[in-house]
Structure 1
């Protein structure tokens, strides 16, 4: 499992560790890992470090010191290293001295065009701002950063790309777009959450000894195969379809019968023993999946279930969607609410439920629930998912380029889903996810585990089925068994 911590937590751990070590040890550890990564990239690019041209873009903080010490190590291996100081009076003095002693040189851009400063560089090291930076790049840095990106050099960010916000993943203005980010001690939330994640490129983590000093509960966590495998249900010899759990699906309408089919397709591949369907799409569901238990409704009369999933394709016809959703929310079992079901939500009703609730909005739906513009949600996904979970007293899976899962407990880590592909942005894929997550709820998983496992399998199935080509929602559903086996190490 990958974990990430906020800036304040990281700095507290760094201060405690520095108090135990000789002065400068921590920075030199970071610089050594950074230089090793840069050397590997240079060998990949040109076969050797010797003779490579490296340009350091250095600001005023310790982040610049890391870059300078790493530059000194590269210069010691015969790289041609030059530094551009964006705050000459506040440049890290010891780091600069080390660079100059190793043969590096100063190449400030006072009278030289930015593109000429980085021309011919094999690697540009971004040490402009550190984890405390916010609000985008300062104007004097923008031409250099643009020139570095256009130069064809490999751009490496020190700890995180300058201009992004470490704690939230927000990008308020221009920011460095790195090919590789070398981060120290632990991941920072902004490296894992869009839009900042798109600026980070490939992530490399350098261990500098912070691990034992970090709290046991992180701010963010990213599940990996082994973590998800431990969550997936497995039937025992005495299991039958009812003991494995029954998921109820309330989806589809006369206008959107396909949503019912897709939600059931996801549910049938989510581990539950049976799927009950209630709604107007019964004929379409039976035609595609005859094993489904179809009922005319209402949901409370359809038979016992261990969880409900409601919302996909319900439409907005008066007197149809609202009674179905209200009936489901009145139940005493876990309920997943998606799509059209989200329009009908009342926060007080959700908070008053005796059983857990899982909401699965995309950015537009989240914006409507919060009463803010969609752009605000997309720019601040972490804040949005936490606010939704708090306001509704529910677990929230916020779908998108970075899928986030938050619980109502503000001390619990937010989960970040690492799987998926841009090809997953296709009609109906969210209906598959709803059925899949609902099915996992019916097997007995808590809401945050069901959401995380479903998002992981859903993204992995899309990746396995796509392999760089378009996929349909049913393709994703058909790929779920392979994703399941892959996670469990059976593929």
Structure 2
């Protein structure tokens, strides 16, 4: 399956091997030529990273080590002082001493084909590099293709892995360089063209980096638009302890371009919610403040959804038994695209909840963080964080839904296995309530009739942009969720005009 035009392909290790072989066998590009280009590029970045001083190149066996040998030769030709250490050689015992006064070290130990746990002597070399980096703040660490110990296909780190200041990768970035924990080991990423032809490639990656063009897929208002054609969103949420969450989701949906937004909330918290909303309608659902929704609440919510084009279910709902049943009932019977967030996700963490969602006839988007995804899959958040790609794909397949696993490396998976990865880089979003904001943005895009995987990816990128703008406006440490909401119109205004038409 071809990637959407707005996803930048990220070939995994097997696909990159196939591309290398295709370039060599079908296009007659000698493997040594590819290695020379890779090693020369590696040397060039190293010279920029450390303009002076001694350089240590630590090599393994295979092509990665060969790239390192080429880089060492090129650097020596540029009159740099270079030591080359082969892992497992007699000289390797001197590696810690050689690194003490070096200004740069090139990690050319393990390439993209590595998976699993590094073994001695490579593991010993990885440990020496990391210890030297901790001991010497001036030492720059440059990884060749992928930091050794990182799985290039998944970002998994099973044991030890090099922590690099920068990584030079060839032809295309690999998924593991953008997915945590591998992302945190890669440092600044340099993607180098080594001459593999762009046209006619024999592989179709199943992972890609979200590009700005995804925002072209979101229709914009035009002269003939009205509040309903711009998209009607129903937010179902709120409880006595959490009245702010549905407010944030509703305001985010409105600021992201929805023309008509309504909150359906327990009657006991409607006054608190209504006091915070001027442009959003509020519909009460019968409840008991102590025991949660009353009989008929789910039916009323589903009836109200008949007038909407997308629903956001879960922000601030709470976790009472009656509330969880309410959320499951609404999710099953609501006949419109659904964003399931927060406590709406918790309600589906037992009794075959994911499979229940798979039976829905309309689009569903789940927006969990690692803890919520862990509960849905019956594993710990630690396990999710260690294998983010595998777990988000598993959840999407089981739920028959698009799953958005939040983080700096937010992953968006569709049931067939295609995964989009956010470029990240908005630490301002690490504050309470921004998850509610994201749910509202995705809900607004679904209400405009956008396909769910595209809507989720565009929502993630718009949310990311708004986080960056908010940090520029109020300062990184002072950003709160409402600042991100205020920045949403600016985030959309900076995006390209849409060829998808007007509403």
TM-score, with normalisation over the residues of structure 2?
Answer: 0.87
1:115 maps onto 2:96 in alignment: yes
SS in 1 for 2:92: coil
> Could you tell me which residue of structure 2 aligns to residue 441 of structure 1?
446
| Counterpart pick for 2:383 among 367, 373, 376 | 376
Q: Distance in 2 between matches of 1:249 and 1:22?
A: 59
Q: Does the CA contact (< 8 Å) of 2:247 and 2:273 recur in 1?
A: yes
The 3 A distance-change label for structure 1 pair 284 and 228 is farther
SS in 2 for 1:469: helix
> Could you tell me which residue of structure 2 aligns to residue 145 of structure 1?
129
The 3 A distance-change label for structure 1 pair 272 and 217 is farther
- Where does 1:83-94 land on structure 2 (aligned, <5 Å)? 83-88=84-89
Q: CA RMSD in A?
A: 1.9
1:35 maps onto 2:43 in alignment: yes
- Where does 1:391-402 land on structure 2 (aligned, <5 Å)? 391-402=398-409
1:51-100: CA deviation from partner (whole Å, max 9, x where unpaired) = x3111011112101001101101100100111111034xxxxxxxxxxxx
1:417-441: CA deviation from partner (whole Å, max 9, x where unpaired) = 1134333222111111111111111
> Could you tell me which residue of structure 2 aligns to residue 464 of structure 1?
469
The 3 A distance-change label for structure 1 pair 23 and 400 is closer
> Could you tell me which residue of structure 2 aligns to residue 197 of structure 1?
183
The 3 A distance-change label for structure 1 pair 115 and 450 is same
1:83-122: CA deviation from partner (whole Å, max 9, x where unpaired) = 111034xxxxxxxxxxxxxxxxxx9233x3x432112212
1:258 maps onto 2:254 in alignment: no
Query: Which segment is superposed worse, 331-340 or 139-148?
Result: 139-148
Unaligned runs of 5+ in 2: 1-6, 286-299, 499-503
The 3 A distance-change label for structure 1 pair 33 and 356 is same
1:243-271: CA deviation from partner (whole Å, max 9, x where unpaired) = 11101100111121111211112111122
- How many residue pairs get aligned? The number is 460
1:159 maps onto 2:145 in alignment: yes
- Where does 1:277-316 land on structure 2 (aligned, <5 Å)? 277-280=263-266, 281-297=269-285, 298-302=300-304, 303-316=306-319
- Where does 1:37-436 land on structure 2 (aligned, <5 Å)? 37-43=45-51, 46=52, 52-88=53-89, 108-110=91-93, 112=94, 114-138=95-119, 139-149=123-133, 150-151=135-136, 152-210=138-196, 211-212=198-199, 214-215=201-202, 217-225=204-212, 227-280=213-266, 281-297=269-285, 298-302=300-304, 303-345=306-348, 346-410=353-417, 413-436=418-441
Q: Which runs of 4+ in 1 moved over 4 A?
A: none
1:485, CA displacement in angstroms? 1.9
SS in 2 for 1:249: strand
Q: Does the CA contact (< 8 Å) of 1:9 and 1:214 recur in 2?
A: no
Q: Distance in 1 between matches of 2:370 and 2:494?
A: 29
1:239, CA displacement in angstroms? 0.7
Q: Distance in 2 between matches of 1:10 and 1:476?
A: 38
1:200-241: CA deviation from partner (whole Å, max 9, x where unpaired) = 00110111223335356322111222x133123201211101
> Could you tell me which residue of structure 2 aligns to residue 18 of structure 1?
24
Q: Does the CA contact (< 8 Å) of 1:228 and 1:487 recur in 2?
A: no
Q: Distance in 2 between matches of 1:432 and 1:191?
A: 27
Q: Does the CA contact (< 8 Å) of 1:299 and 1:328 recur in 2?
A: no
Q: Distance in 1 between matches of 2:325 and 2:425?
A: 32
1:484 maps onto 2:492 in alignment: yes
> Could you tell me which residue of structure 2 aligns to residue 98 of structure 1?
none
> Could you tell me which residue of structure 1 aligns to residue 289 of structure 2?
none
SS in 2 for 1:405: strand
Q: Does the CA contact (< 8 Å) of 2:256 and 2:492 recur in 1?
A: no
1:384-416: CA deviation from partner (whole Å, max 9, x where unpaired) = 100000011111001123210000113xx3101
Tell me which of the two structures has the higher relative contact order, counting C-alpha pairs closer than 8 angstroms and 6 or more residues apart.
Answer: 2
Q: Distance in 1 between matches of 2:181 and 2:14?
A: 21
Query: Which segment is superposed worse, 11-20 or 60-69?
Result: 11-20
The 3 A distance-change label for structure 1 pair 140 and 334 is same
1:328, CA displacement in angstroms? 4.2
Q: Distance in 2 between matches of 1:464 and 1:243?
A: 28
Q: Does the CA contact (< 8 Å) of 1:170 and 1:379 recur in 2?
A: yes
TM-score, with normalisation over the residues of structure 1?
Answer: 0.89
Q: Does the CA contact (< 8 Å) of 2:10 and 2:208 recur in 1?
A: yes
SS in 2 for 1:176: coil
1:17-64: CA deviation from partner (whole Å, max 9, x where unpaired) = 122123511111111221222222234xx4xxxxx3111011112101
Q: Distance in 1 between matches of 2:75 and 2:358?
A: 57
Unaligned runs of 5+ in 1: 47-51, 89-106
1:256-288: CA deviation from partner (whole Å, max 9, x where unpaired) = 111121111211112211001101243233322
SS in 2 for 1:109: helix
1:460, CA displacement in angstroms? 1.8
The 3 A distance-change label for structure 1 pair 460 and 286 is same
Q: Does the CA contact (< 8 Å) of 2:18 and 2:202 recur in 1?
A: no
